[in-house]
Structure 1
Amino acid sequence: MSSTDHGTGPGTGHGHSTPGDGPAGTVERALRAALYDAADSALDTGASLLAADPAADAELARRGAEFVAAAWRRGWQPADLVRWVRRELDDVHVGLVTALITAQARDDRARGRRWAAQLAELAGDSGDRPAGDRFSQATALLELYRLLLRLPALEPLREEEPHREARPGAHSRMLTRIRALLAKAEATGFPQEAEALTAKAQELMARHSLDEALLDAQGPDPDAPGACRIGVEPPYEQAKAVLLDAVAGANHCRAVWNETFAFSTVVGFEADLEAVELLYTSLLVQAQSAMAKAEAAQRAGGRRRTKTFRQSFLAAYAHRIGTRLGEVTAAAETEATDALLPVLASREVAVTAATDRMFPQTVSTRLRGVTDEAGWTEGAEAADRARMRSRPPLP
């Protein structure tokens, strides 16, 4: 990961004129006063300048759009930016950055399907807007600009759009079936049924991945691996990262966790990336539900559960789920034709090479806090109650 890029963002005086008066001059003086000094007094000075000049609002919003555009140049995406603002600041600032992203998107270039989906999701995740007097509103905006100015550069993601349309409608129908299975797994109150539904979803994902690999190999212009970022939020983020890594590995992808910014980058082919996103989200919901039931049972038995219980539970759950998903995928691949095996091998090499290019230096992290035996046992049992069924043979 690149080091933090200081002093090169918009609103810093680089590449901007500095008029002595007027709205642009007000904004320039406010930003110079507030963005480079962490003291509250500097923030108050900048906010006072902005509060006293309502005519500066449009110029201040324009500078905000430039900060957002600079974040995109540094490799950030809409979901990443909102996640980081939510972690570092408050709901008021989430509302402000969401509004800036939405406004900037109107003048931005097209950036791919996943980017568009993130923008669409922001429409229902606006946070709170600053209330109160102009001084309070200006203070919140300057706090946000301070954070945006100091964003580091992230590894750029290339969102690969498939070169072909495989069996029109088949892809969306498959995703609809998978989503329906996972929704039932999340909603049922019976752990064995949830596990069986999840296993069936993974079977469909494995089958779809094989179909996509074969079609891609037969096309004139094979696709290349892409990448996406998936949030890995506290608490128990280490165990959640292990769960995401297990899901990624079972679906022919690689995951690299960034603890500082609370996400993992998943590298793989597009159909597999979609599978990872769907399955990880569902398994996290199921794990939280199973953990709550296990804790209730522990309390009923007079034993008080702690943070280490939850960490151990999720770690064991991730470990067992990874094993079981891998078994489903392996069963699918044992039935693959001789023509498909070289294709799978070449795609694995391509994913590994793409991951190594993006992340030439990675380190392994030892999972901390897995010391509660009861938590580990309960987590393993939650992931191991149902018998995994192998899928029907490929036609």
Structure 2
Amino acid sequence: MGLDKLDTIRKLLAKAERAATGAEAETYTAKAIELMARHGVDAALLAAARPGSDRIGPQRIEMQDPYSAGKARLLGWTAAALGCRWVLHGARGGKVAAVTVFGHTSDRQRAELLYTSLQLQATTQLVRVRSTRPGESVAAYRRSWLHGFAVEVHRRLSTAEERAATDAPATATGGPSVALVLADRREQVDRAYAAAFPRLATARRAVLSGSGFAAGAMAGERADLGHGGGLGSQQRSALGGC
């Protein structure tokens, strides 16, 4: 993705973060989602025409408490919706030390840019949310809220990516279709991921006791989008993501 396009999306994200009303934020959100997905398709087509220009590789992003495990899932599911794979590091006791996002450079850029904004949006809301159920732990409620937020973000991003691929104009005569380009791109990432992390197992599904999932999902539906565990071979604390 070109620097000018990244800058446009950053500006939309910043406007949504500063919006005075939910309706205003959603206006910026809708445009940002559209741009993020469309530029992802553009980058894929450009890379197909210029092999080697959009390299596959890892990017490690540190997680911070509180709720580092929830933040890690938010990053991982965001990255997965944008064509990347992910690995958890130091996942134990409900905490995660870091996440490695693995994929094409342009998709890793999209994932990091979007996650940075989503984390800010979620954190800003987390400090205010509380359960209405008597006696429920604030921490448990917030963990489930963040889980719901991440699930809804993933759904919206996946839908936007699929729509952008469907709406993209056909490639030139004789060239591969958009669908074939994107499928080949995913296969390239899967092969490179398997070679880089040959002994990862699937991470355990998160089990959360709080009742904040629905409220978090509603917040994820409104969020500006800018448009699992076995031992690894090199780091024993690394857990495989999806």
Runs of at least 5 residues in structure 1 that lack an aligned partner in the other structure: 1-169
Partners of 1:332 and 1:288 lie apart in 2 by: 29
1:352 to 187, 190, 202: 190
Q: Determine if the alignment matches structure 1 residue 330 to structure 2 residue 169.
A: no
Listed one character per residue, the Cα deviations across residues 200-246 of structure 1 (whole Å, up to 9, x for unaligned) are 32321211121111112112655431221112222212211111111
Give 1:286's aligned residue.
Answer: 121
Listed one character per residue, the Cα deviations across residues 272-300 of structure 1 (whole Å, up to 9, x for unaligned) are 111101100100111112223333xx58x
**Rg: which structure is higher?**
1
Partners of 1:387 and 1:181 lie apart in 2 by: 9
Give 1:372's aligned residue.
Answer: 210
Mapping of 1:185-200 within 5 angstroms? 185-200=16-31
Call closer, same or farther: CA 1:218–1:246 in 2, change over 3 Å: same
Call closer, same or farther: CA 1:221–1:291 in 2, change over 3 Å: closer
1:251 to 82, 87, 94: 82
Call closer, same or farther: CA 1:221–1:315 in 2, change over 3 Å: closer
Amino acid at match of 2:149: Y
Amino acid at match of 1:184: K
Give 2:63's aligned residue.
Answer: 232
Partners of 2:224 and 2:11 lie apart in 1 by: 20
Partners of 1:189 and 1:292 lie apart in 2 by: 18
Shift of 1:377: 2.1
Give 2:145's aligned residue.
Answer: 313
Question: TM-score, normalization: structure 2?
Answer: 0.79
Shift of 1:358: 1.4
Partners of 2:123 and 2:224 lie apart in 1 by: 21
Partners of 1:305 and 1:333 lie apart in 2 by: 43
Q: Determine if the alignment matches structure 1 residue 173 to structure 2 residue 10.
A: no
Amino acid at match of 1:245: G
Call closer, same or farther: CA 1:198–1:226 in 2, change over 3 Å: farther
Listed one character per residue, the Cα deviations across residues 71-101 of structure 1 (whole Å, up to 9, x for unaligned) are xxxxxxxxxxxxxxxxxxxxxxxxxxxxxxx
Higher helix share: 1
Shift of 1:259: 2.6
- Give the length in aligned residue pairs: 215
Amino acid at match of 1:288: T
Classify the secondary structure of the residue corresponding to 2:165: helix
The answer to whether the 8 A contact 2:84-2:189 is kept is yes
Shift of 1:254: 1.0
Higher strand share: 2
The answer to whether the 8 A contact 1:199-1:328 is kept is no
Classify the secondary structure of the residue corresponding to 1:268: strand
Call closer, same or farther: CA 1:223–1:286 in 2, change over 3 Å: closer
Q: CA RMSD in A?
A: 2.6
Call closer, same or farther: CA 1:361–1:221 in 2, change over 3 Å: closer
Classify the secondary structure of the residue corresponding to 1:255: strand
Shift of 1:387: 11
Listed one character per residue, the Cα deviations across residues 169-208 of structure 1 (whole Å, up to 9, x for unaligned) are x811101101101111222243444344334323212111
Call closer, same or farther: CA 1:239–1:257 in 2, change over 3 Å: same
Call closer, same or farther: CA 1:230–1:198 in 2, change over 3 Å: farther
The answer to whether the 8 A contact 2:165-2:178 is kept is no
Call closer, same or farther: CA 1:279–1:219 in 2, change over 3 Å: same
Give 2:98's aligned residue.
Answer: 263
Partners of 2:179 and 2:86 lie apart in 1 by: 23
Call closer, same or farther: CA 1:267–1:199 in 2, change over 3 Å: farther
- Which protein has greater RCO, CA pairs closer than 8 Å, 6+ apart? 2
Identity of aligned residues (%): 38
Call closer, same or farther: CA 1:319–1:273 in 2, change over 3 Å: same
Partners of 2:120 and 2:151 lie apart in 1 by: 16
Runs of at least 5 residues in structure 2 that lack an aligned partner in the other structure: 172-176, 228-242
Partners of 1:291 and 1:196 lie apart in 2 by: 22
